[in-house]
Amino acid sequence: MSVKVYINGRLYDKQDAKISVYDHGLLYGDGVFEGMRIYGGKVFRLQDHLERLWHSAKAIWLEMPMSMEDLASAVNQTVKANELADGYVRLIVTRGAGTLGLDPHCTSDPQVIIIADLISLYPEEFYEKGLEIITVSTIRNHPAALSPRIKSLNYLNNILAKIEGLQAGCVEALMLNHRGEVAECTGDNIFLVSRGQLLTPPIDAGILEGITRAVVIELAVAVGITVREIPLTKHDVYIADECFLTGSAAELVPVVKVDSRPIGDGRPGPITQQLLTRFHELTRQ
Ligand code: PXG
């Protein structure tokens, strides 16, 4: 069965799912998106993703062409049409086709695209043995230039960091912010465990407000772990007892080496494992 892709109210076979080359999403990265997980046939935290999408759209003056309820139904319809029990949803809203010029007022018809497909996961051994990451020279977008809170179609900042990481043999890369503090990875938020407490950079460190980040904070609080959202430096990472990343695609993945330094004893730690178990219970129940 061919993958069915939703565009503006209709489902198309994958090979027929097309939009204009004049779309400002393509010409300028002018649009917003969400990446969500499907567990047991249901989109995980759909409402939270839709709210973030609405906030991203508002921040770039993009008027959403449909209501949140209708978009939720469209997402569920697309997941159902593709008969996916577990998978991934990419929800995209572009500015629409316009003239060859920046002016967003010269565009019409924002395109709402929903792709539901299988997700390519990190190999299982990454979850058992943990990842090695490095800090890259590409800093996260300065919030005064383009807020990292906007999940926009312009992902070059993250892609350039990802390339640096890959060239060093790492599948994820740690990005610092304009102040030199720890921000996040290219597609994941970062957490540390230090003296039994869970530490993670605050939103104003210039990061995406990850949905998985929020879920992990909830899970930690529920089991009595103190969570602190505080500015962190590379030094804090190097001396942490444990480190892990969170994201819709990665879920919760342990990090055991940063910039060639082992974190803790160089193996996934007990709090990371406890939270990973809780996360699996929540998503695979
Ligand atoms: N930071 C950044 C920069 C991200 O892009 C996260 C953190 C984690 O957020 P969530 O809400 O997912 O917990 C992201 C998310 C993909 C893909 O296809 C990327 C993300 C999520 C899912 C898929 O590359 N990034």
How much distance in Å is there from the Cα of 117 to the middle of ligand 1?
16
Please choose, from the candidates 146, 245, 127, the residue with its C-alpha nearest in 3D space to the C-alpha of residue 189.
245
In order, the DSSP letters of 168-211 are: TT-SSEEEE-TTS-EEEESS-EEEEEETTEEEE--GGGT----H
Could you identify the atom of ligand 1 that is nearest to the CA of residue 208?
A: 1
Look up the pTM and report it: 0.97
Question: Nearest 5°: phi and psi at 96?
Answer: 100, 175
How much distance in Å is there from the Cα of 171 to the middle of ligand 1?
14
Could you identify the atom of ligand 1 that is nearest to the CA of residue 215?
A: 13
How many other CB atoms are there within 10 angstroms of residue 195's CB atom? 8
State the average pLDDT for the chain. 97
How much distance in Å is there from the Cα of 131 to the middle of ligand 1?
17
Q: Which of 18, 58, 151, 234 is catalytic?
A: 151
> What is the best residue among 147, 186, 189, 275 to mutate for testing ligand 1's pocket, by most ligand atoms within 8 Å of CB?
189
Is residue 151 part of the annotated active site? The answer reads yes
How far apart (Å, rounded) are the C-alpha atoms in residues 24 and 38?
29
Instruction: Assign domain 124-284 to its CATH architecture.
Output: Alpha-Beta Barrel (3.20)
Bridge-based pairing of strands 4-7 and 173-176 is unpaired
Q: Whose CA is nearest to atom 2 of ligand 1?
A: 187
Q: Is the pLDDT of residue 273 over 80?
A: yes
pLDDT in tens, 145-168: 999 999 999 999 999 999 999 999
How much distance in Å is there from the Cα of 213 to the middle of ligand 1?
10
In single-letter form, the type of residue at position 59 comes to A
Q: What is the mean pLDDT of residues 34-42?
A: 97
Q: Whose CA is nearest to atom 9 of ligand 1?
A: 210
Taking the CA atoms of residue 65, residue 66, residue 72 and residue 77 in that order, the dihedral angle to the nearest 10 degrees is: -90
pLDDT in tens, 185-218: 999 999 999 999 999 999 999 999 999 999 999 9
How far apart (Å, rounded) are the C-alpha atoms in residues 217 and 86?
24
Domain range annotation of the chain: 4-117, 124-284
Query: Which CATH code fits 4-117?
Result: 3.30.470.10
Residues with CB under 6 A from ligand 1: 35, 158, 184, 187-189, 208, 210-213, 246-249
Buried b (16+ CB within 10 A) or exposed e, 122-160: eeeebbeebbbbbbbebbbbebeebbbbbbbbbeebbeb
pLDDT in tens, 212-253: 999 999 999 999 999 999 999 999 999 999 999 999 999 999
How much distance in Å is there from the Cα of 106 to the middle of ligand 1?
30
pLDDT the model gives residue 1: 74
The token duo for 246 is: 């969170």
Could you identify the atom of ligand 1 that is nearest to the CA of residue 49?
A: 11
Q: Whose CA is nearest to atom 18 of ligand 1?
A: 35
How far apart (Å, rounded) are the C-alpha atoms in residues 215 and 281?
12
